[in-house]
Amino acid sequence: MSGSPTFPKLTEQSLEEHEVIQFHLDQLERGVREFDPAAATGETMRGLAVRIDSFKDRLEEHFRLEEDGGLLQAVADALPQAESDIRRIRAEHARMGAALDEVRRTARSAERADAGALKSELERILIVIREHEREEDALVRRALRQA
């Protein structure tokens, strides 16, 4: 795909999209920081579930744009040696979605006894997502330099 005007456009859009995801990730992280398991109520847990829902919906849209919108294929075309990285990225998308589903179910259940574990697991997932996005961004930048 070297020399194609489509690739720079895809990568530019992807980099902008990653900035938007970082913003939404920051918002959810702020909500998690403010969530106090000791003071959790059914209402605060359901409120956290709504935040998780909103983030998950946005993240899934982001993943679809990468997978179906041609970005990962454009990266593969520019960096054939990155095929295993791209397979890993696709697998991580599925795992992150499943992990968010699980914490969302826990938050929706509104069981105070689960509040501490919910916060810990959500913090862990958000770290994984942030690192995933950094790695994706680096791969896109590498592919752009190669194209």
Q: What are the pLDDT tens digits along the chain (147 aa)?
A: 445 556 666 667 777 888 889 999 999 999 999 999 999 999 999 999 999 999 999 999 989 988 887 788 888 888 999 999 999 999 999 999 999 999 999 999 988 889 999 999 999 999 999 999 999 989 988 888 876
Helical axes 115-146 vs 83-109, angle rounded to 10°: 160
Long-range contacts from 136-139, C-beta under 8 angstroms, 24+ separation: 136/14, 136/18, 136/66, 136/89, 137/15, 137/18, 139/75, 139/79, 139/82, 139/85, 139/86, 139/89
CA–centroid distance for 25 within its chain: 8
**Residue 1 has what pLDDT?**
41
Residue 7: the pLDDT is 67
Q: How many CB atoms lie within 10 A of CB 71?
A: 22
Rounded to two decimals, the pTM is 0.87
State the fold for domain 6-146. Four Helix Bundle (Hemerythrin (Met), subunit A) (1.20.120)
3-class DSSP state of 79: coil
What is the rounded distance in angstroms from the CA atom of residue 52 to the CA atom of residue 32? 10
What pLDDT, on the 0 to 100 scale, is given for residue 74?
A: 85
Task: Give the start-to-end residue ranges of the domains of the chain.
Answer: 6-146
